A and B are shown apart, each in its own frame.
Chain A
């Protein structure tokens, strides 16, 4: 349940971003890499618990999956992984060197004045 630690971090960044503004957070836009190991539902659940009583209480978590891309170690082509481990579409080799798609980013927040 590492999503709890990530939810805490998310709230911390939001708090720092908003400073003393008297607003309510309506939506949180996240980009989560498909190979990051983050479960969107678990993150939503954890954030709901963590955000209770804060400006972000009830905010919608909009989680966009950013694709995992890597290089085949067999034939060297670049391809998009389906899931956390790819299968090379050219030579069929299992796996590959992951080059993108293991990160998590807070893109933007939508707020309204209270």
Chain B
């Protein structure tokens, strides 16, 4: 009540809490993960800077998909439904989340989006996160695979500048690799930096526009999906 006389010192006490932050998001992510396992929906979280080519890579993925099941996409952007329109035109089921002031997607948003999508058992879900190399790294969505999409135009040093993002990913793809030779970019140096941030990352090269590397990209996703289906079927 009173800030000045010091009477508060009489009742001061410390309460031990010892709880991790983002526990609410972690709980929602766990719920999503259980849902994905129970329904055998392999879910991929695509992250990367705006302009890295995430949507174009998704379009190429949808058009060249040869796995069983349909592809659903949850699109996260601050504004507009442009990306959901693009992936829908490519043949996917799509749901747009406009985050407004939000700089990332969180697990509760994914949960709500799932209620608005008609995904069937065995479908595949791609989540295109908000274009941002910082915030999405911290929010577990319950996904089964995290991928960072990056491009030569971003320069070689992004893994050093944004380590949590590269650390969060199991797979990193150098997209727009058709730009190599046209922009200043030393691939070996970049690879060293990715490994410095995340020694376990698997690195691919793709070019969504001319199709380079798309076969290997699809094979990698399908391989991980098979492993997910086997483990979640147990």
Interface of A toward B, CB cutoff 8 Å? 1-2, 4-6, 9-10, 12-14, 17-18, 24, 26, 30, 35-37, 73, 84-85, 94-98, 102-114
Contacts and interface: CB of A to CB of B under 8 A. Distances in A.
Contacts, number: 110
Given A17-B17, A108-B18, 15 more contacts: A2-B104, A5-B25, A6-B138, A35-B164, A84-B164, A97-B199, A106-B17, A106-B21, A107-B17, A109-B14, A110-B13, A110-B15, A111-B12, A111-B13, A112-B8
Interface in B1-48: 1, 8-9, 11-25
User: Chain B's interface: helix, strand, loop or mixed, by majority?
Assistant: mixed
Contacts of A6: 21-22, 138
Contacts of A94: 192-193, 196
Interface string B174-214: 00000000000000000011011101100000000000000
B56 to A, nearest CB: 26
A13 B19 contact: yes
B24 A9 contact: yes
A50 to B, nearest CB: 13
Interface in B91-112: 101-104, 106
B163 interface: yes
Given A35-B164, A95-B199, A107 B22 contact: no
Which of A37, A103, A105, A110 has the largest number of chain B CB atoms within 10 A? A37
Interface residues of B, number: 39
Contacts of A105: 18-21
A42 B177 CA distance: 36
Contacts of B160: 85
B137 interface: yes
B138 A2 contact: yes
Given A2-B103, A105-B19, A96 B199 contact: yes
Given A36-B164, A112-B12, A13 B197 contact: no
Contacts of B164: 35-37, 84, 102
